[in-house]
Amino acid sequence: MHILAAMSGGVDSAVAAARAVDEGHDVVGVHLALSRAGGTLRTGSRGCCTIEDAMDARRAADRLGIPFYVWDFSERFREDVIEDFVAEYQAGRTPNPCMRCNERIKFAALLDRAIELGFDAVCTGHYATLLDTSAGRELHRASDAAKDQSYVLGVLTAAQLAHTYFPLGRTPSKAVVRAEAEARGLTVAQKPDSHDICFIPDGDTRGWLAERVGAETGDIVDRAGTVVGSHDGAHAFTVGQRRGLALGVPAPDGRPRFVLEVRPVTNTVVVGPKEALAIAEISGDRYTWAGAAPDAVEWTCDVQIRAHADPVPAVARLDADGSLVVRPETPLDGVAPGQTAVLYAGTRVLGQVTIDRTVSAIPIDA
C-alpha cells in the first residue's frame, strides 16, 4: 500500500512508520505543523507538535530512509480545535481537544488530503487494533490495556477506518516499542510521552482561558438556588471541582461541596454534595458510529467517559427526537456536558456521543 505516516516526533509514530516500511509498504512521512509559533520548544513532556518535535520526526524519517514533509495545518487547527475549545468553555461545557484533533485534523483534514494525493491509508502510532469482518472494518481496543487509545479514536467513522493503519495495536507494552526504537537506532527511543493540552504547554488552563474569554464576577449557588459565594469567571470551573471555591456560606452538614454545573448564560456556578455528582443518564445529539451502526433501537453496551476510565455496563437507545441516550447500570461520577462518551461491545468500539445533557442520580430535594 501507499501509506502516509503521520510522524509526531515521538517514539510511537516513529516505530509505527518503521513497521510499515518493514511490511513492504511505500511509506512517506509527514509532520503536522499545528502552530504558527515556529520557535516554540517543548518543555519536558508538556505539549507536542513543536519545532523540536518536527526535527525529531525528520531524523526518524531519515533513519528509515523515507521521504519526509512538513504540512502546515495551523489555521485548520486553530479553527477546529482551539476555537472550538474556547467556545465549548464559553457554553459551560468541558471539551476534549484531543478528540477534536483526531476527528477534525488527523483523520479528517489529513486523511482527506492523503486520499486526494493517492495514498491508501494514514498510519499513526495509536494503540488500537483494526479487525476486518464480513460486516466491514471494526475498531477494537489495543492488546496493552494500559496504553489503549481506542477511546480517543471513538470519533472515527466507517469511511475513515477504511483508510487507517495502526501497527502498534497488538504490541504487548510501551516498553517493547521503546526497545524496538533503541534497536533501530531511533533517537526518540527514550523521549518522554507528551501530556496535557498541547496548545497550553504550561498547564495553566484557567489563565489561558481568562486571557481569551475575560473574567466576570458571578454567583455560586447551591442546588436550591441560594447564593453561597462568588467567583471571578465561570469558565474557570469544571464539574467535579472541589478546590478553589472559597465559599462564604458553609454547607449545613459541614461537608465539602463540589461543582455540579456551570451556567454560562447567567454566569452562575452550582455546587452541592459529592453524592450529587453521580449521574444516572447521559444523552446527546452529536454522535457517530465507528463502523456499522447498531441494528436495534435499544441495546446493551459498555460506556466509557474518559480516556483511562473503567468501562461501565449500560443500556443505550435512540430516542424519537434523534438523541442517543445512555443509562449506566451504576451511576457515572462527575460527568460534564461537552465530554465524550464512547460505547463499546466487548473490545469493539461502537461509536461515540458528545454529552449534551446529564441526569443526576440524586434528586435536588434529597
CA pseudo-torsion sign 287, 289, 295, 299? negative
CA distance 41 to 49: 9
Which residue from 4, 21, 291 is spatially nearest to 120, judged by alpha carbons? Answer: 4
Region of 91 please: left (phi>0), alpha (psi -120 to 50) or beta: alpha
Query: Partners of 270 in the beta sheet?
Result: 221, 261
Check: CB of residue 223 under 8 Å from CB of residue 260. Answer: yes
Active-site residue, from 48, 98, 198, 301: 198
Active site residue 98: no
φ, ψ of residue 123 in degrees (nearest 5): -105, 135
Cell of 220: 455560586
Active-site residue, from 98, 101, 123, 301: 101
Active site residue 301: no
Check: CB of residue 16 under 8 Å from CB of residue 7. Answer: no
Which residue from 322, 327, 354, 358 is spatially nearest to 341, judged by alpha carbons? Answer: 354
Residues recognised as catalytic? 101, 198
